[in-house]
Amino acid sequence: MKIEEFKDITIAYMRNTGEYGKQNERLMEDFKEFLRKNKLFTEETTILGIALDNPALTPTNRLRYDVGLVIDKKSDINLATRKIDDGKYAIFEVSHTKQDVLQFWKNIQNLTADLSVDDKRPIIERYVYNKVANHLCEFCIPIL
């Protein structure tokens, strides 16, 4: 685990509203296809997946999940844009397999027990091109 400061990050994104799970996987695939078609899927690509709502507190039909491409302010992409919350994040690198990702979520309380987690900001899944090529992804846990 390492700590990073996020500052002035903007994403061009697509959003799914509804049940988390298969719909989010479909959104990710559609988003990557959009990037490929628009020649935006390169070695510099960083994709973020952001579950904006807690399924224990939000009705299923109102759960929001964003998939976004980190862009610079000058980028002209035909998608909605928004900023990512500034602040510190604890970064956990995980093997990008269904089993290891599920294991991460299952153990998240233990993994973050010694951290001051900021529950006002969402956890971010980060997919950096060269890490994904090596079957890795990152989970960015907001901390105080």
Judge: domain 2-143, CATH 3.40.50.920: no
Structure tokens at 42: 């390169």
Q: What pLDDT score was predicted for residue 56?
A: 87
Q: How confident is the model at residue 76 (pLDDT cuts 50, 70, 90)?
A: confident
Domain ranges of the chain: 2-143
Asked whether the beta carbons of 68 and 47 are under 8 A apart, the reply is yes
Burial degree of 90 (CB within 10 A; 0-12, 13-18, 19+): buried
Q: What pLDDT score was predicted for residue 35?
A: 93
Asked whether the beta carbons of 104 and 98 are under 8 A apart, the reply is no
> Tell me: the pLDDT tens digits for 23-73?
999 999 999 999 999 999 899 999 999 999 988 899 999 999 999 999 987
For residue 49, what are the contacts with CB-CB under 8 A and spacing of at least 6?
24, 28, 65, 66, 67, 124, 125, 127
φ/ψ of residue 121, rounded to 5: -115, 145
